[in-house]
């Protein structure tokens, strides 16, 4: 499969057509074995995986999905070992970022992503939304590309879930407007909150959310209760809401232009807490740090308003011991990462915090 990067300045109709053709050619070059879709476990990644899986099945291709869970990294040696043991005809990465090195050398690979690039793959097709204005989510990229394989008009609601989950509703995409009119914005919003709950809950398992997306024919079906997964998603959401209520009571510590919010929760509430404080602390880099999310690590979410580039900020303050795969990736106004305690302590010390920001090493 030839190397290619699809990344213009504007998401024009011509660019979408070119991206579809490149994607279709890449999938056609896959070997006649099952296609493996690796996806992120948030609403955008889940929706992307569901769109791709359903389109591949409709086109007559066998496919399966592997979601990356808590603490997992697509480019880790453990993942490479797992994938080499499988019979894969082709690999599609959805919403997992980019790297220069291949996941599995010799296996035809397509990468769909919209984050700041941390490496351009040398032997894969990259369809990237980064740099476009507005920036299409991975789910929208997946829906555009999947249209080259099969009829996917009825799957537009899945792309809308990813847009709302990652960008709320200010993106201005006509596809989102069409989905709002067809399926209703209230149902789409509620479905997003349900789908994000399992990966944020203490168990951290988004498989139920994916199973529901592979069955449902729209957001109302996600919410209706006709499938057993809905009740389980509701329970996960209730757990997260309880943890979130506790996290909201934590006051930020401010040093200069940085606000630090220390948390200890098994639920993934740090991105939500950081986002909420961002609106109240104008002009600050808001960092919500969670010592309870994964044993032996400090997971943190950083948020900032327009005019602040968090990728550059975190690069400037990168501590010794930070793994570039798990630190400082994402978007200019929404980034974060995970650091071992000793590296975290160096990080907050460099930001001007004393013992009040440190954790036991």
The helix (run of H) or strand (run of E) holding residue 208 is helix 207-213
Give me the pLDDT at residue 12, please: 66
Residue 213 tokens read as 């997306």
| Rounded-to-integer distance, Cα 333 and Cα 6, Å | 23
- pLDDT at residue 10 tops 70: no
Q: Please, which pLDDT band fits residue 9 given cuts at 50, 70 and 90?
A: very low
Contact 182, 91 (CB under 8 A): no
| Rounded-to-integer distance, Cα 17 and Cα 11, Å | 10
**Model confidence pLDDT, tens digit, residues 70-111:** 889 898 999 999 999 999 999 999 999 888 888 888 899 999
**Model confidence pLDDT, tens digit, residues 130-170:** 777 788 999 999 999 999 999 999 999 999 999 999 875 55
C-alpha to C-alpha distances, 225 to 142, 159, 194, 299, nearest whole angstrom: 27, 22, 12, 33
Q: Model's pTM, two decimal places?
A: 0.88
| Rounded-to-integer distance, Cα 44 and Cα 20, Å | 19
Higher pLDDT, 285 or 104: 285
């Amino acid at each position: 499969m030839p190397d290619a990067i699809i990344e213009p300045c504007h998401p024009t109709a011509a660019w979408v057509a070119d991206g579809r053709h490149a994607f279709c050619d890449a999938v056609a070059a896959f070997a006649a074995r099952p296609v493996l879709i690796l996806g992120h476990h948030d609403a955008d990644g889940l929706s992307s995986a569901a769109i791709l899986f359903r389109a591949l099945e409709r086109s007559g291709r066998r496919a399966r999905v592997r979601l990356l869970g808590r603490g997992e990294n697509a480019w880790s040696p453990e993942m490479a070992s797992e994938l080499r043991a499988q019979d894969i005809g082709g690999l599609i990465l959805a919403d997992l970022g980019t790297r220069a090195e291949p996941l599995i050398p010799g296996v035809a690979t397509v990468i769909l992503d919209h984050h700041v690039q941390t490496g351009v793959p040398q032997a894969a097709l990259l369809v990237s939304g980064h740099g476009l204005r507005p920036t299409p989510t991975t789910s929208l990229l997946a829906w555009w590309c999947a249209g080259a394989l099969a009829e996917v008009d009825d799957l537009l609601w899945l792309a809308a879930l990813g847009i709302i989950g990652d960008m709320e509703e200010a993106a201005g995409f006509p596809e989102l407007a069409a989905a709002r009119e067809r399926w209703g914005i209230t149902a789409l919003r509620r479905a997003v909150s349900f789908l994000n709950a399992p990966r944020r809950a203490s168990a951290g398992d988004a498989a139920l959310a994916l199973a529901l997306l592979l069955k449902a024919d729209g957001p109302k079906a996600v919410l209706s209760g006709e499938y057993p997964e809905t009740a389980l998603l509701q329970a996960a959401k209730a757990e997260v809401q309880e943890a979130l209520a506790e996290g909201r009571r934590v006051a930020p510590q401010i040093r200069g232009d940085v606000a630090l919010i220390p948390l200890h929760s098994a639920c993934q509430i740090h991105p939500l807490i950081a986002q909420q404080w961002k609106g109240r602390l104008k002009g600050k880099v808001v960092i919500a740090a969670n010592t309870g999310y994964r044993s032996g690590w400090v997971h943190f979410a950083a948020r900032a308003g327009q005019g602040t580039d968090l990728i550059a900020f975190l690069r400037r303050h990168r501590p010794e011991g930070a793994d570039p795969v798990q630190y400082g990736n994402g978007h200019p106004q929404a980034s974060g990462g995970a650091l071992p305690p000793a590296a975290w302590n160096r990080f907050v010390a460099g930001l001007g915090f004393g013992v009040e920001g440190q954790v036991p090493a």
